[in-house]
């Protein structure tokens, strides 16, 4: 059986009792980053073997994990932070397990995109999650243009290295819409900058950028 286990996005106090029970019961834990997951497991006194499952090794790791599942082992799938299979390679494992008619379950929990959305002050009744944008500006603009006339609130993930360039491209495509940029959610220094895209850029330029960011942009007509 494959169990997707949501883990905290920052504050370890957010882990659920069901998540801990699932990790305790698993025969093996499949992790995006074994070091980060190892810290989580050690914090809660859980000792389990891990298999690394990342974007750069999934083609090699997938057969090994599928072998465990075929033997009837309980495999817990976790990501670096939050809910597995969202903007990480875990979805390929879920798809493969379902294709082999292996039972798949999930332990719900935190996900940064939902927290950023509800904190944004923008419309929450209808939204589109786009994940990480392309790295190059030209490709990124074409990618953003897909949602140019969409009325839905748009949610993106972005790294600190490309955040400002992404926001500049967003202005070029969407105009200076309302937005919110969230960082370090659930942590001591959690921040959510709200305003127009241009005013948020001004605020972000005041401090060094660290960690991953969640960007929420108003849909067309909002």
Q: Which domains does the chain have, with CATH numbers?
A: 2-107 (3.40.1010.10), 112-217 (3.30.950.10)
- pLDDT of 141 reads 98
Please name which of 47, 4, 2 lies closest in space to residue 24, comparing C-alpha atoms. 47
Question: How many distinct helices (H) and strands (E) make up the chain?
Answer: 8, 10
C-alpha torsion angle, residues 159, 173, 204, 130 (rounded to 10): -40
Whole-angstrom distance, CA of residue 197 vs CA of residue 174: 10
Q: Which residues of the chain have pLDDT under 70?
A: none
pLDDT digits (tens, 9 = 90+) for 117-140: 999 999 999 999 999 999 999 999
Instruction: Provide DSSP, 21-67.
Output: HHHHH-SEEEES-HHHHHHHHHHTT----EEE--TTTHHHHHHHHHH
Please report which residue ranges of 121-196 form alpha helices under DSSP H: 137-145, 163-174
pTM, full prediction: 0.93
**pLDDT value of position 89:** 80
Of 40, 89, 23, nearest to 61 by C-alpha is 89
Selection from 154, 159, 218, 152 nearest residue 183 by Cα: 159
Confidence (pLDDT) at 88? 82
């Amino acid at each position: 059986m494959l169990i997707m286990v949501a883990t905290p996005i920052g504050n370890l106090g957010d882990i659920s009792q069901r998540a801990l029970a699932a990790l305790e019961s698993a025969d093996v834990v499949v992790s995006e980053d074994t070091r980060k997951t190892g810290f989580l497991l050690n914090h809660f006194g859980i000792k389990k073997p891990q298999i690394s499952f990342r974007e750069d090794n999934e083609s090699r790791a997938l057969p090994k994990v599928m072998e465990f599942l075929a033997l009837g082992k309980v495999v817990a799938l976790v990501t670096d932070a939050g809910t597995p299979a969202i903007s990480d390679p875990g979805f390929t494992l879920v798809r493969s397990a379902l294709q082999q008619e292996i039972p798949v379950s999930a332990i719900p929990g935190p996900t940064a995109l939902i927290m950023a959305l509800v904190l944004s002050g923008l419309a929450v009744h209808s939204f589109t999650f786009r994940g990480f944008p392309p790295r190059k500006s030209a490709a990124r603009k074409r990618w953003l243009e897909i949602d140019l006339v969409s009325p839905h609130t748009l949610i993106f993930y972005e790294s600190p290295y490309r955040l400002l360039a992404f926001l500049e491209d967003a202005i070029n495509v969407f105009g200076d819409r309302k937005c919110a940029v969230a960082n370090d959610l659930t942590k001591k220094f959690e921040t959510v900058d709200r305003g127009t895209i241009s005013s948020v850029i001004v605020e972000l330029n005041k401090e060094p950028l660290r960690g991953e960011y969640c960007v929420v942009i108003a849909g067309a007509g909002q």
